[in-house]
Structure 1
Amino acid sequence: MTPHRITSLDQLAVVYPNPVAPASVIKEIDHVDANYGALIAASPFFVLATNGPEGLDCSPRGDQPGFVTVSDAKTLLIPDRRGNNRIDSLKNLLSDNRIGMLFLIPGYGETLRVNGTAVLSTDPGLCARFEMAGKLPACVMVVTVEAAYFQCSRAVVRADLWNPAVQVDKRSLPSAGTILRDISARATEAFDGDAYDKALPERVKATLY
């Protein structure tokens, strides 16, 4: 074992000796108040974290701002929009209903973290509330909030996340088709990555909901 590996709380305390800032404690509440509700209403994107027998999962969720509804101070409603049908997050929730969310708002430095538990509902009336482009979500996640708190802007500022001048030219990175082609090259039947890339933009548009 490397001598520099941290393996105990005492060692961790040595590396991080400063006391917790008062604001870091004050900001955490067990519900969604008016301020945190305003952040959720403005957010078009969050990252969803779950845990299950097959391991951890962290997946992106996005739609128009307000797609996550604050039903009451302890309850969030989240439509499950169309995806790749791996449904890793949903399978995890069936065995471990704990959930973590990190909300981002374009142009806003702070992020919002919400932890709680979730159940999946196919209630027709509930799903109908989230109809979009004539399509209903397959189910709705009903989240019971246990903790909500904002995260300071340091990470977003360091990343210069909302600066359009530093956006990466997508042509400088491997495309989805290239990734699939190269991975499948080890299989018996190669994947047509060029055809995948060509069809992808229209397929995304046609299958958003």
Structure 2
Amino acid sequence: MPSHDIATLADLESLYAEPSGASLAKEVDYLHPHYRAFVEASPFCLLSTASGKGGDCSPRGDAPGFVHVLDDRTLLLPDRRRNNRIDSLRNIIADPRVGLLFLIPGVNETLRVSGTAKISTDPDLIARCVVQDKAPTSVLVIAIHLVFFQCARALMRSHLWSADAQISREALPSNGTIVATLSQNAIDAATYDRELPDRLRNNLY
């Protein structure tokens, strides 16, 4: 039976036309002022990392501009209080290559940044990221290698910002239901769900 898997670069490139025009012109190796505007307006980004175990993608968010622009080749991403899994940070220790995808509510274009990151506890950098008198445990100093905007098609197709596309959280399993099931009820679902709102509110930073 013939394989339909694409396993070589030549086979892959035969499926697609050569990129040209704006798709190439928009790519730069620094944070152009137009792209800086996207970073400073964004309250949310996805951080991709990788290790020998595979790839990972982690959400990061705060007030617009929470990713600080140190200069046109360097970004500063605070590591806010989370669940202490530190998957992304472990990956960066093993492999410093990272990718960022910035989203802005209501805007269908996204901004893609790739580069390398190092984990820092520099007091001056930490101080730049204090929110509500709470400092992040560490910050990622990201050296920019590549920047370009992603066209609007994906968000247009998904209707991501459309109110009509929103679903009720209750339509999906609750967090408590998930952790109770996966822990074989070592964690109580009702207790977890009841305590979660206060835990999130009190431990946001």
In structure 2, what residue type is equivalent to 1:11? Answer: D
* Alignment correspondent of 2:108: 109
Q: What is the 5 A alignment of 1:27-38?
A: 27-38=26-37
Match of 2:139?
Answer: 140
Distance 2:165 2:77 in 1: 32
Stretches (4+) displaced over 4 A = none
TM-score if structure 2 supplies the norm length?
0.96
Matched residue count = 205
Mapping of residues 164-179 of structure 1, within 5 Å = 164-179=163-178
Q: Paired residue for 2:191?
A: 195
Is 1:99–2:95 an aligned residue pair?
Answer: no
Secondary structure of the equivalent of 1:110? strand
Correspondence list, 1:20-169, <5 A = 20-169=19-168
- Letter paired with 1:194: A
The TM-score with structure 1 as length reference comes to 0.94
Offset at residue 2 of structure 1 (A): 4.8
**Pair 1:181–1:127, CA change in 2 (3 A):** same
* CA RMSD between the two structures: 1.2
Q: Output the CA distance in 2 between the equivalents of 1:38 and 1:139.
A: 25
Equivalent of residue 204 in structure 1, options 192, 200, 205: 200
- Given residue 7 of structure 2, which amino acid in structure 1 is its aligned partner? T
Q: Distance in 2 between matches of 1:11 and 1:54?
A: 27
| Partner amino acid, structure 2, of 1:61 | R
The C-alpha deviation readout for 1:12-61, integer Å capped at 9, x for no partner, is 23322x22131111111000011100000000000001112333211000
Distance 1:105 1:155 in 2: 14
5+ residue gaps, structure 1, are none
